[in-house]
Amino acid sequence: MSSQAPDTSFPPGPSAKIVNGHVEIHFSEEKGWGQPQFVKDPYLRIHGLSPSLNYGQQAYEGMKAIRDIRGHIRVFRPEHHGLRLGRSAAFISIPQVPVDLFCEAVNLVVSQNAEFVPPYGSGATMYIRPVVIGLSSMLAPAPPKDYLFYIYVQPIAPYQGITALDAVFLEEYDRAAPKGTGAVKLGGNYAPLMRWTDLAKREGYGLILHLDSKTNSRIEEFSTSGFVGIKDQADGQIVLVTSNSPNVIASTTAESVMQIARNLGWKISYSELSDFREVFAAGTAAGLVPVRSITRKSTGEKFTFDSGDGEGGPDCLRLREKLTAILQGDEADIYDWCRVVTQDKD
């Protein structure tokens, strides 16, 4: 598929105004999951008493599509996202969307909006938002009989940009309890963070960092992305550090850069360390965002890190360049991460 992207400014306006439509798949207790249908109406039809609206029975994913130098559209790790959505859905009693059906729906929605995938080299991508919700009208907080899986897309610039950000520990609120919902991607995990995110921005912080709720001593993740730290061993070995907490999202981007780091011969560690040389946030929309500092207001501590001229320290830049090269098809995809969109628009 090589449809040329329009001359669209980034970030764009509301997706309802700039793309062709979205994809829906309905589930019924009698028939199971149906077939993907492309829908031009940007609005969903849903009863006001659905458990998704009343009890938060909703799970979602965040993915991206990018255009390569040949004009082909590549979707990054759709199978991984399909499996992760299945885990989140099962956690809240929603039937899992089969991974092959998930990937078929992703392919359909991207192909039907192909002209809105940003051009190669622009730094922008098409963000893909799959969501699954309980649909039936019911008062009881119990699993309904009907569900809806849908996918919206929108072209975006890098979510956080590529300028280094200052972060702050959120100590007034626990994002997730042990054995709770922290490891699954549910809308209800993020709504309570909105006021804290807004407060942090007003105080000059671009990111919130969460500690474990049991001891408030172990780093878990940023509110919108995974945490990755870099340090050097005495022998010169580069070590990447991320959280091994069972209460964090299995970040696709963080896991991907860990695989790249292994191929570069770097060591991977999951222990909690304090002497990082570089820190960055890793997420689908954000990419790899360098962190300039992390502040803990309760103790007055402020940790600073190498973020170069603001675009990232040397190792963050190296990993970002490698990841981008694979995404854009400039470098061989030895990990078999990308899927080329094959269904032409009608």
Residue 13 confidence (pLDDT) above 60 = no
Contact at 8 Å (CB) between 182 and 214?
A: no
pLDDT of 236 reads 86
Q: Report the percent of the chain where pLDDT is more than 90.
A: 79
pLDDT of 233 reads 86
Integer Cα distance of 111 and 19 in angstroms:
11
127 and 38 share one domain: yes
Binning pLDDT at 50, 70 and 90, where does residue 216 land? confident
175 and 268 share one domain: yes
Integer Cα distance of 204 and 322 in angstroms:
31
120 and 206 share one domain: no
The partner residues of 28 in beta bridges, in order of sequence, read 32, 146
| 314-327 and 252-263 helices, crossing angle to 10° | 100
More confident site: 161 or 39: 39
The partner residues of 292 in beta bridges, in order of sequence, read none
Residue 1 confidence (pLDDT) above 80 = no
Phi/psi for 23 (5° steps) reads -115, 140
Contact at 8 Å (CB) between 291 and 167?
A: yes
pLDDT of 105 reads 99
Q: What is the mean pLDDT of residues 59-78?
A: 96
Q: What is the mean pLDDT of residues 93-100?
A: 98
Integer Cα distance of 225 and 124 in angstroms:
18
Amino acid residing at 169: F
Q: What is the pTM of this model?
A: 0.92
Residue 234 confidence (pLDDT) above 90 = no
Q: What is the mean pLDDT of residues 329-334?
A: 96
279 and 212 share one domain: yes
Contact at 8 Å (CB) between 287 and 158?
A: yes
The partner residues of 186 in beta bridges, in order of sequence, read 59
Q: What is the mean pLDDT of the chain?
A: 91
Residue 300 confidence (pLDDT) above 50 = yes
Can you spell out the DSSP letters for 163-231? S-EEEEE--SS-S--TTSSTTS-BGGGTGGGHHHHHHHHHTT-SEEEEEPTTTS-SEEEESSSEEEEEE
Q: What is the mean pLDDT of residues 82-97?
A: 98
Counted residue by residue, the chain has a size of 346
71 and 131 share one domain: yes
Quote the domain boundaries for residue 259. Answer: 165-312
54 and 112 share one domain: yes
What SS3 class is residue 336?
coil
Residue 36 confidence (pLDDT) above 80 = yes
Amino acid residing at 266: W
143 and 169 share one domain: no
* 10, part of any domain: no
pLDDT of 244 reads 84
- Of 114, 139, 156, the one marking the end of a domain is 156
Integer Cα distance of 257 and 230 in angstroms:
12
Q: What is the mean pLDDT of residues 207-236?
A: 91
Contact at 8 Å (CB) between 239 and 267?
A: yes
Which residue in 221, 219, 207 sits closest to 293, CA to CA?
Answer: 207
Q: What is the mean pLDDT of residues 147-155?
A: 97
80 and 28 share one domain: yes
pLDDT of 95 reads 98
150 and 169 share one domain: no
- Of 105, 132, 156, the one marking the end of a domain is 156
Phi/psi for 61 (5° steps) reads -130, 165
pLDDT of 16 reads 52
109 and 191 share one domain: no
Q: What is the mean pLDDT of residues 253-268?
A: 94
260 and 140 share one domain: no
- Of 156, 191, 209, the one marking the end of a domain is 156
**Cα end-to-end span (Å), the chain:** 12
Of 151-155, 175-179, 191-195, 205-209, the range with the lowest mean pLDDT is 175-179
27 and 81 share one domain: yes
pLDDT of 15 reads 54
pLDDT of 162 reads 76
Domains held by the chain: number: 2
pLDDT of 18 reads 83
Q: What is the mean pLDDT of residues 124-148?
A: 95
pLDDT of 7 reads 47
More confident site: 318 or 3: 318
Tokens read off for 288: 């790899």
Q: What is the mean pLDDT of residues 254-275?
A: 85
Q: What is the mean pLDDT of residues 91-107?
A: 98
* CATH number of residue 187's parent domain: 3.20.10.10
